[in-house]
Amino acid sequence: MQSLSNRAKILEKKPMTLAERAYLPAIFQGLSITLRHFFTKKATIRYPEETRPFSPVFRGLHVLKRDEQGRERCTACGLCAVACPAEAITMVAGERKKGEQNLYREEKYAVSYEINMLRCIFCGLCEEACPKAAVYLQADKMAPPRFERDEFIYGKDRLVEPVSPDTRSKRGIQLTAEQADKLRTQLA
């Protein structure tokens, strides 16, 4: 059958040599590629023992911030959950009782606050939507590897900033030495 454009190239089929019939050129080509990879730089690292440097625009692990007096900032308004495009944030709001003024800043607080790290795309919209600056993405931390899916749902026990003023995030609200001492005396 002749092509319509008359650009068809007629190829002659050459008879294969003995080496080609035994696939020797293809075997040596594959071995040369394998040997070349022994001497090239590895594309992978031994995570979690080794870590790569973070990008300047990297958004890391979430943290629920406390105010200067050690109270939770989150008022369970739900704007972070609404802003989340992956619907990774769920919360249950509750009202503060008498005697809990030193725990929660506002009258409403999040009784339960969960972030599903398997759904989270680390876009940072929750941080931008929060009117109380309670949600913060730490650029120096990332979600550690886990073996079970349940371990990727972070509750308040893992999200709320530790009470100790000495273990605060570097990019978060830093207390001065006087504020840290004052907070230590209040918590004691």
Binding positions are 74, 77, 80, 84, 120, 123, 126, 130
**Annotated binding-site residue numbers for [4Fe-4S] cluster:** 74, 77, 80, 84, 120, 123, 126, 130
Whether the CB-CB separation of 64 and 74 falls below 8 Å is answered with: yes
Alpha carbon 96 to its chain centroid, in Å, reads 31
Peptide bond into 48 cis (omega under 30): yes
Q: Say if strands 61-64 and 89-95 run parallel, antiparallel, or are unpaired.
A: unpaired
How far apart (Å, rounded) are the C-alpha atoms in residues 16 and 14?
6
92 - beta bridge partners? Answer: 112
